[in-house]
């Protein structure tokens, strides 16, 4: 392997601006792939981690990035799935125990083994080293945790599918969104806009529930059938008992019980965003119509590949704004100000 030391952008300490640096990638093992990173999406999780906002202390310096699209540069001696030149992606995790019931079922994101699901950055891998993410020129990953990106999806717009795309595809598939189903997406941001596109492609009737009507034109262009402002109390009266499935993509602290009122009998509200504080739930809001309050987190490797293939077939990609690596810190501030439509993607050639 020729690349050991590679260029990257890292947060040197909690809350410190990201800066250009170098990191060491492991030597290529028998089942490893060296990926030349072409593009890396910016996810809100990257910001939480770089600013140590999830209270885990964290490992610093840290290279974020788990929406990674690139090209295979080199393969290990036993690699069978990929060859140099293949278009590939890496998502939110790069390993798992491989032996627990969930791993064997292809639900590696819910790995219950001792190793757990090993995050693409900030986690401790089976070699005892801390993982570093996709804001870098190259990445080494096990072939079993690498995805194939269809030729029909531009690589830059494919990157956010590896987190935002699968985060929405998984619950839509699990709760069987499709013709005859009414689906609401709360929030039209990096996650929400993917939810609208995917639910529409699955054949569901799609409604966006957003604070204001500011992005209504966008929402309808992306595939929504209806668009309502949640700041208007009339919305909750008008849509009472309407939806089979509501997906909340926001990390704001919503009045959950008001949203439960929008579900029909047997409807499900799925929490995807991660609010900072616990949210109060009134039991009566659920029990009176056998409603469910659920959560969902990304997808396993088979389902993520299924999502990429689905997006390839339906011409779905993320709406992105391509930036240079030296714009990452500015992009973080713009994400926090909701000033992006709808996902920043770093051009790795500028790292």
User: Has residue 190 got a pLDDT over 90?
Assistant: yes
93 shares its domain with 199: no
55 shares its domain with 116: yes
**SS3 labels along 243-273:** EEEEEECCCCCCCHHHHHCCEEEEEEEEECC
202 shares its domain with 115: no
132 shares its domain with 12: yes
174 shares its domain with 240: yes
Over the stretch 278-306, which tens digit does the pLDDT of each residue have? 999 999 999 999 999 999 999 999 999 99
Judge whether 181 and 247 are in contact, CB under 8 Å: no
64 shares its domain with 75: yes
- CATH number of the domain within which 84 lies: 3.90.180.10
84 shares its domain with 183: no
pLDDT band for 54, please (50, 70, 90 cuts).
confident
d(CA 18, CA 213): 34
205 shares its domain with 266: yes
278 shares its domain with 307: no
Domain count, the chain: 2
Domain end, chosen from 251, 271, 295, is at 295
CA 253 to chain centre: 20
78 shares its domain with 200: no
Averaged pLDDT score across all residues of the chain = 96
Judge whether 97 and 86 are in contact, CB under 8 Å: no
User: Has residue 321 got a pLDDT over 60?
Assistant: yes
User: Has residue 58 got a pLDDT over 90?
Assistant: no
pLDDT band for 56, please (50, 70, 90 cuts).
low
Over the stretch 79-106, which tens digit does the pLDDT of each residue have? 999 999 999 999 999 999 999 999 999 9
Over the stretch 222-278, which tens digit does the pLDDT of each residue have? 999 999 999 999 999 999 999 999 999 998 899 999 999 999 999 999 999 988 889
Give pTM, 2 decimals: 0.96
pLDDT of the residue at 4: 83
- CATH number of the domain within which 277 lies: 3.40.50.720
176 shares its domain with 76: no
User: Has residue 2 got a pLDDT over 70?
Assistant: no
259 shares its domain with 225: yes
pLDDT of the residue at 238: 98
Domain extent at residue 194: 166-295
């Amino acid at each position: 392997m020729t690349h050991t030391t590679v260029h990257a952008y890292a947060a040197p300490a909690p809350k410190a601006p990201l800066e250009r640096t170098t990191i060491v990638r492991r030597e290529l093992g028998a089942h490893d792939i060296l990926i030349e990173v072409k593009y890396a999406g910016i996810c809100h999780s990257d910001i939480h981690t770089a600013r140590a906002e999830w209270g885990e202390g964290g490992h610093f310096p840290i290279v974020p990035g788990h929406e990674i699209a690139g090209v295979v540069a080199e393969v290990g001696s036993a690699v069978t799935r990929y060859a140099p030149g293949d278009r590939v992606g890496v998502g939110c995790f790069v390993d798992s125990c491989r032996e627990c019931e969930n791993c064997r079922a292809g639900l590696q994101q819910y790995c219950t083994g001792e190793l757990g699901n090993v995050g693409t950055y900030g986690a401790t891998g089976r070699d005892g080293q801390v993982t570093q993410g996709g804001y870098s020129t190259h990445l080494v990953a096990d072939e079993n945790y690498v995805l194939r990106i269809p030729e029909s999806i531009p690589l830059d717009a494919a990157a956010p599918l590896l987190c935002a795309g699968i985060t929405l595809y998984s619950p839509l598939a699990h709760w069987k969104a499709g013709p005859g189903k009414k689906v609401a997406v709360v929030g039209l941001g990096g996650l929400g806009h993917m939810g609208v596109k995917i639910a529409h492609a699955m054949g569901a009737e799609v409604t966006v529930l957003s604070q204001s009507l500011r992005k209504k034109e966008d929402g309808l262009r992306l595939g929504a059938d209806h668009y309502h402002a949640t700041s208007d109390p009339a919305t909750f009266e008008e849509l009472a008992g309407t939806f089979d499935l509501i997906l909340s993509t926001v990390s704001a602290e919503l009045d959950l019980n008001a949203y439960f009122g929008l579900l029909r009998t047997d409807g499900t509200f799925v929490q995807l965003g991660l609010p900072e504080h616990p949210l109060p739930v009134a039991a009566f809001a659920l029990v009176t119509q056998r409603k469910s309050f659920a959560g969902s987190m990304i997808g396993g490797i088979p389902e993520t590949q299924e999502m990429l293939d689905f997006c390839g077939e339906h011409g779905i990609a993320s709406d992105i704004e391509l930036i240079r690596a030296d714009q990452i810190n500015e992009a973080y501030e713009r994400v926090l100000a909701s000033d992006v439509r709808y996902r920043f993607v770093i051009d790795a050639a500028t790292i």
